[in-house]
Amino acid sequence: MSSAIGQRHQMSERVHSFAPLLGQAPRVLILGSMPGRCSLDADRYYAHPRNAFWPIMGALLGFEPALEYPARCRALTAGGIALWDVMASCERRGSLDADIVAASIVANDIAGLLAAEPGIRVILFNGGKAEESFRRHVQPTLPAGLASVPCHRLPSTSPAHAGLSLAAKHALWREALAPYLPAIG
């Protein structure tokens, strides 16, 4: 084995996502790819201080993004939003989606979640890797009735996705959520 391959293998680790955040009657399911190192270490969705997820959701749903994490989660789910990741686990070096070893991806049971939560009317992907992974690992396994749920990719809220300003990301997320969450409209 070459030393480069051996170093890459040693630097990869298997990481696991969190349980879904669900409220009483979710209408929107937001799917990320896999939590980054900062989120995994904190055991919280979107824990990186420069990730725009909580500031965007706070602005759209009317809560302060600096609230304690449990209060933010309650505000999100009370607003009709469920949150999960496409991947249950994968091998990855570091935090970037680009470093995920494609052959190592194990998908979450999103079909089971959709069957258990029939009020979900749309799936929104937090970035391209979430959408790509869903289309490859989840969509082919969905029963016909669940495969008809509309899906839309939105710009990643990750600080690694710096191609759009916070205001531009906010506008796109608002546009996507408004038809499903009247309080936003």
Is 51 a catalytic site residue?
Answer: yes
Gap between the terminal Cα atoms of the chain: 57
Contacts of 127 (CB under 8 A, 6+ apart): 32, 33, 97, 153, 154, 155, 156, 157, 158, 161
Residue 111: CB atoms within 10 A of its CB come to 16
Residue 158 is classified by DSSP as: S
Q: Single out the residue of 170, 172, 182, 181 nearest to residue 152, CA to CA.
A: 172
Structure tokens at 174: 């608002």
Cα dihedral 56/59/61/64 (nearest 10): 100
Residue of 33, 39, 51, 95 with catalytic role: 51
DSSP-based helix, strand, coil % in the chain, nearest 5:
40, 20, 40
Hey, which residues are catalytic here? Answer: 51
